[in-house]
Structure 1
Amino acid sequence: MRLALLQPPDVAVRTVTTEPRTLTDLGLDALCTAMSRDEEFGEDPAVAAAVRAILPVSVTDPEVIRYRHAVLADCCAHPDAVRELYRIATRATQIKRYRVGPRHRPNGKLLLALEPLRELLGCLRELRTACARHTASFESAGFADLAATVAAELDESYLTSVEQQLATLDFEHGLHFTASLGPGDKIAGITLHAPIRRRRFGLDRRTGRAFEAIDDPEPESDPLVRLQNPALQIIADVVSDAADHVQDFFGLLHTQLAFYLGCVTLHRRLIRDSIPFCLPTVHPTGSARLRCTGLRDIGLCLTAGRTVVGNDLDATGRTLVIVTGANNGGKSTFLRSVGAAQLMAHAGIFVTATTFETDLHGGIFTHFAADEDRTMSHGKLVEELTRMSTLIDHMTPNSLLLCNESFATTAARDAEQIATPLLNALLDTGITILFVTHLTEFARRRADSPHPTDLFLRAERLPDGTRTYHLTPATPEPESHATDIFHKVFDRTPESHTPPR
């Protein structure tokens, strides 16, 4: 049965390419946790699992994202109706299924498959009733399609006929089928017929010849049992497959509704904590749009317990954004905020910004400073280069690369010799890059050369050394003001030592 809450029906979507560390690098583990913790209903691990499954494979089609926006608006407007559908789907996915091995008798396999299918049929009835009750409230095409599909495919006559079919599978009056002998005198050409119903006074509707055999105390040696087992096996397989199909449908419905309920929980949390948010405006891939006001790091907003500074950015038409400035000035936080908002925009959910406008990318990749290799097989620089090589293998034109202090594990001159040709090659390929760096000389040389698609941002530092955590367009400075941190920690200015000649 068709389900189209995440995308329009019969539309093939392209998904954004990410890599396993992307969510962690962007600090989105806190987002997944927060979306799974509803103040009224408690924590639901299924919601966190759904968010983790859907975020990394978000879509690259603006129309699909706007389709999700409409479904999300319905969910926020009618959370009780959505939660009722979710409860039905949850109950259906929790119906216990018994798996049997190949040596299990067909009649036992049939009995083990019948009861779950009957329970699932009850869940289908509840779903049809709930959809009929709430269909007038929903305005999105996604929920309208769900209600129409359920009404068309699960009408009363169909559900009644299924119930009747399941009732006959008890075979109260025996199993009615025909068969023939195949090669090697084996049973072949099995054809099942409607079960025979006995008439009153013990007369039945059998035509032709029939006989009854006394049950053998050892069923495996009973020739009639050996005759009917292939027919029962066919029925058991059909019933089991039907139960699988229905439960798979409910599993998919459960995951998609869990994702949207997580968005509803996030919506309530952002309102409660007075965190600015919006639904992003998205543009087709390749249009080089990135403009936002009041952009904040979602992970920090959910965990800091205090007001988070927002940043404005206009990088429309820019393909390389280089961020420099004072240490501890908010550069990495800003990078995470852009990456997280970009991925959330692809997923069709809220971003923590007053406004956010972006084009879509075929891939979103992160290259953040890594921990030391505990096996001592290689150093950090080798690990950085290896990971960058892996990322490049997966990148396509129109991908987005977020670099946080890349190549900081080697000398500045060596890092510059690595970064310069690498960034040039990626830009020539059509990759958009946000590059947070301590390589001030590299950044200054880049700024001195004419690159109209470059944008330079600098973390703001007041004359007294205070960090405002604002990033503003500015050319790179020749220092990162590490002395400010030294003075803050040790309450004195570091002494300068002239090295001996």
Structure 2
Amino acid sequence: MQVNLLHPAHHDARPTANGDNTFTDLGLESLCAEVSEDPVIRDAVRAALAAPTTEPEVIRYRHTVLADCQAHPGVVHELYRIATQATEVKRRKVGPLHRAGGKLLLALEPLTELITSLRQLRTTCDRSGHVFRAAGFTDLMATVAAELDDRYLDSLETQLAAMDFDYGVHISAGLGPGAALAGIVLHEPVRRRRFGFDRRTRHAFRVIDEPDPEFDPVAKLRDRAVATIADVVHDAADHVQDFFRRLRTELAFYLGCLALHDRLSRTGLPLCLPTPHPAGTPRLRCTGLRDITLCLTSDQVVVGNDIDAIDRSLIVVTGANSGGKSTLLRSIGAAQLMMQAGMYVVADSFEADVHNGVYTHFVTDEDRTLSHGKLVDELARMSRIIDRIGPNALLLCNESFSSTSEHDATRIAEPLIDALLTTGISVIFVTHLYEFAHHRHRAAHPSDLFLRAGHHPDSTRTFRFTPAPPEPTSHAADVFRQIFDRAPNEPANPTRVG
């Protein structure tokens, strides 16, 4: 049976991959760790973020399922409990030394438990399935009703009960090439008292010892038939448990979304279901966008930002040091992946075109092995990204090439970004490189947008970004003054301690 809570039935999923460092750079590992104490839920959310869909219709399909989960969380939790219980049914390994009867016994026990779980699933769907409206859930309810009716489940239990073979194995077989057994057929057990005696009475008789099964052709036939039955039962248990495993994983993703929604909404943060657009035309526009990792880990008020980058394939972010540029970059990247996973976004509104992967090139620490310089490391990481990135992807750069002189960095960045944009890749470039930003701004490309971090007259940061040309200063003196309580050109206060 199919689950189809993440994708429509008969749909060929086309997930994409992200850059090697995307999760770490965007803080998504922290998000997954914060989403739930249940490792299955954490892994399900992580898997959805790591392989985002590129099809807006699939995202909207997930939104409808998520809305049902939001409206009926109790039913979803009950389905998840049943699926978890079935997934955790113990399966003992069968070794080569197990006799056929032992193999069958080890296969029958878990399948019997799994049939109980199927009955629980059917009961829950019959009782509560009518509350769902999303196609993903209604299809699942219809599948359960059609394939797990009482007659079918009763017949399964009857067949399993018959496999105790208390009255022997009723089989037929023929001879194949080389007088080998062939065409073994298992027949319905004959339910009768052996030799007309009732086993509940004390009547008994003695028979001669049976020959060694190793040399008894009838015993060999029986063991071969029973071993075949054991394999069939084992495969059936695999099939049922695999269905419950997929059900648990897909429900876990939505439960993770609900957990994030509940946690963030309790703090008064805005949450929205984003609007996805087809790839090909830049459509980034949002209001009140916040960095979700910062929202989950900080006790401070997180400032939201509005961005209108419709038809803009390059966004250059400049402005004051400690003004929130890296946070803005992370918020856009995380929101993009969450949208393409089908999740809520921390914003009043968010819409964007889907991308074939999100890649990050963030400034890193110096190479501790001292095998090469920082610029070499930056160029090597960018080379690896270029080897993998393709059209309609999104590249997020945070202070790229800041390890060399501004003139040299500009000579590297300008042709690189031109080539990326020509290939159809969208770029968001956070930088202190005034020469590069100034040259690019003067060129007045219609597909460029320049955002600048704001600050108050007293030099405190607003953490808000507005369209503005780059400035020749990053206001580092303000940061110096906050730390050392003096301007950089002022002498140190000898009376100041610490």
Question: Normalized against structure 2, the TM-score is what?
Answer: 0.93
Give the counterpart letter for 2:55 in structure 1: D
Q: 1:379 aligns with which of 370, 373, 381?
A: 373
SS in 2 for 1:15: coil
- C-alpha distance in structure 1 between counterparts of 2:209 and 2:123, whole Å: 46
User: Residue 291 of structure 1 contacts residue 358 of structure 1 at CA under 8 Å; is this kept in 2?
Assistant: yes
Q: What does 1:34-433 correspond to in 2, within 5 Å?
A: 34-36=34-36, 43-198=37-192, 202=196, 216=210, 219-433=213-427
User: Residue 13 of structure 1 contacts residue 60 of structure 1 at CA under 8 Å; is this kept in 2?
Assistant: no
Deviates more, 1:373-382 or 1:426-435: 373-382
- C-alpha distance in structure 2 between counterparts of 1:485 and 1:310, whole Å: 22
Give the counterpart letter for 2:481 in structure 1: H
- C-alpha distance in structure 2 between counterparts of 1:487 and 1:344, whole Å: 38
Could you give the per-residue CA deviations for residues 178-235 of structure 1, whole angstroms, max 9, x where no partner exists? 223344443333222222222687299xxxxxxx996648544444332322212211
Q: 1:213 to 1:152 in 2, by over 3 A?
A: farther
SS in 2 for 1:471: strand
- C-alpha distance in structure 2 between counterparts of 1:214 and 1:398, whole Å: 80
SS in 2 for 1:291: strand
Offset at residue 241 of structure 1 (A): 0.7
- C-alpha distance in structure 2 between counterparts of 1:268 and 1:188, whole Å: 62
Deviates more, 1:373-382 or 1:318-327: 373-382
- C-alpha distance in structure 2 between counterparts of 1:106 and 1:129, whole Å: 35
- C-alpha distance in structure 2 between counterparts of 1:377 and 1:168, whole Å: 70
Offset at residue 140 of structure 1 (A): 1.0
- C-alpha distance in structure 2 between counterparts of 1:216 and 1:338, whole Å: 77
SS in 2 for 1:312: strand
SS in 1 for 2:315: strand
SS in 2 for 1:136: helix
Alignment partner, residue 17 of structure 1: 17
Offset at residue 167 of structure 1 (A): 0.9
Give the counterpart letter for 1:280 in structure 2: P
- C-alpha distance in structure 2 between counterparts of 1:140 and 1:28, whole Å: 28
Offset at residue 46 of structure 1 (A): 1.4
- C-alpha distance in structure 1 between counterparts of 2:104 and 2:194, whole Å: 28
Could you give the per-residue CA deviations for residues 95-127 of structure 1, whole angstroms, max 9, x where no partner exists? 000112234322211111100000000000000
Q: 1:20 to 1:112 in 2, by over 3 A?
A: farther
Alignment partner, residue 5 of structure 1: 5
Q: 1:184 to 1:409 in 2, by over 3 A?
A: farther
- C-alpha distance in structure 2 between counterparts of 1:345 and 1:88, whole Å: 29
Offset at residue 420 of structure 1 (A): 1.2
Could you give the per-residue CA deviations for residues 70-109 of structure 1, whole angstroms, max 9, x where no partner exists? 1111111111110000000010011000112234322211
User: Residue 215 of structure 1 contacts residue 222 of structure 1 at CA under 8 Å; is this kept in 2?
Assistant: no
Q: 1:114 to 1:215 in 2, by over 3 A?
A: farther
User: Residue 318 of structure 2 contacts residue 453 of structure 2 at CA under 8 Å; is this kept in 1?
Assistant: yes
Give the counterpart letter for 1:277 in structure 2: L
User: Residue 325 of structure 1 contacts residue 477 of structure 1 at CA under 8 Å; is this kept in 2?
Assistant: yes
- C-alpha distance in structure 2 between counterparts of 1:128 and 1:26, whole Å: 42
- C-alpha distance in structure 1 between counterparts of 2:220 and 2:369, whole Å: 61
Could you give the per-residue CA deviations for residues 264-318 of structure 1, whole angstroms, max 9, x where no partner exists? 1111112210001111011111121011000000000111112100000000000
Q: CA-atom RMSD, angstroms?
A: 2.0
SS in 1 for 2:310: coil
Q: Does 1:495 pair with 2:493?
A: no
- C-alpha distance in structure 1 between counterparts of 2:275 and 2:56, whole Å: 9
Q: 1:154 to 1:98 in 2, by over 3 A?
A: same
Give the counterpart letter for 1:475 in structure 2: P
SS in 2 for 1:469: strand
User: Residue 60 of structure 2 contacts residue 342 of structure 2 at CA under 8 Å; is this kept in 1?
Assistant: yes
- C-alpha distance in structure 2 between counterparts of 1:184 and 1:372, whole Å: 73
Which blocks of at least 5 consecutive residues in structure 1 are unaligned?
37-42, 205-211
Q: 1:416 to 1:213 in 2, by over 3 A?
A: farther
Q: Figure out how many residues of one structure are paired with residues of the other and give that number.
A: 484
Deviates more, 1:290-299 or 1:461-470: 461-470
Give the counterpart letter for 1:241 in structure 2: D
Give the counterpart letter for 2:11 in structure 1: V
Give the counterpart letter for 1:156 in structure 2: D
SS in 2 for 1:198: coil
Offset at residue 496 of structure 1 (A): 8.4
- C-alpha distance in structure 2 between counterparts of 1:101 and 1:372, whole Å: 53
Offset at residue 421 of structure 1 (A): 1.1
Offset at residue 34 of structure 1 (A): 2.6
Alignment partner, residue 459 of structure 1: 453
Deviates more, 1:193-202 or 1:367-376: 193-202
User: Residue 318 of structure 1 contacts residue 453 of structure 1 at CA under 8 Å; is this kept in 2?
Assistant: yes
Give the counterpart letter for 2:92 in structure 1: Y
User: Residue 167 of structure 2 contacts residue 194 of structure 2 at CA under 8 Å; is this kept in 1?
Assistant: no
User: Residue 361 of structure 1 contacts residue 400 of structure 1 at CA under 8 Å; is this kept in 2?
Assistant: yes
Give the counterpart letter for 2:191 in structure 1: R
Q: 1:195 to 1:56 in 2, by over 3 A?
A: same
Q: 1:475 to 1:45 in 2, by over 3 A?
A: same
Give the counterpart letter for 2:272 in structure 1: C
- C-alpha distance in structure 2 between counterparts of 1:213 and 1:72, whole Å: 68
Alignment partner, residue 27 of structure 1: 27
Offset at residue 56 of structure 1 (A): 1.0
Alignment partner, residue 40 of structure 1: none
